[in-house]
Structure 1
């Protein structure tokens, strides 16, 4: 159902989202920050239905070429409707950073794929205040975006609240639990892959795709 929907999520990453949502229990809630046209929302919604959970999708649908504004919202709503997930997915249109301070509903799974600058991402991590201990947090474009990776270094590598678990390419999985020294070392082990991704982005902007292919990147788009 999600495959025809435009977006930046691979099939393997979709399976990671699916598995995380399937681990929920009846009555649980997934909070998704950044929905775009609904590619990841459909995966989360379909998986949540099997568990008896629901999804809250947060997206401001900002106007402009990169974000699409109200036309993108219409596509999102159409895609959710076509997938038959209207009863599972609740859309909250707004900025995650503005909604968070007044939020009072518990959540059990957090998926972050909003604005990728350091300040927004680290603020989005603060939604974890509504998660139970040990809950999962999934972050897209981690170790691929400079802002998200910097936020991960500050809040996870040097923090005391989040433990890095694993990643599916750029989709990283964390747990709301204090990290051990070994956990911190596993974050450090991802940094060479991050440096590779930044190098590929530079090569693509310099129109040096043949060189990027030597690094194993065969797409005209940034690594995600």
Structure 2
């Protein structure tokens, strides 16, 4: 399989809203038509988690409502330096309203961001989570996946005998502690899988013979599926509420 093709099914143009478009489009995955609904919302770093959610959707009988837009972080108000496209603010407003109207059983999104070399939780993220949890909607906020300085699939092609040359030490990417863990809200769970992305304090591009990332910052669908069981407990907890 060509690495660039090993992507989540929702990366299809019909499921991911384009960077310049404002309207919210949705695609449904998992057990379609199920009464229990889990919304996956945000940009591509949210969308890449679909393969990890799909096995759980079949096991626990829920429908995944995919609500994603390219290069658009899910937040309650506009932060221009983070969301560079003007359409993102209107999309976020519409997406948040749609979720509040839908009242799903849980929302899954990205919980941290890398900006100017630092990892943080924007206040606009927290405000979106507050609006959801205040309406009784559980939120699962996933610590972001690593952002590398180069395309890892391309780098591995150049370093077949030493793929670790393409990786980076965890401390070069992540803060020592998950910044989202300091946020305490009713019905909010923060999930940190950085130790899975960076075992033994090193963020490598491969695990065994499996490629983890198909570019500089997106998981392959194959790798995402291996993380599914780490989301099982948070989802069980969310769906109990």
TM-score, with structure 1 as normaliser = 0.31
Structure having greater relative contact order (Cα 8 Å, sep ≥ 6):
2
Higher strand share: 2
Higher helix share: 1
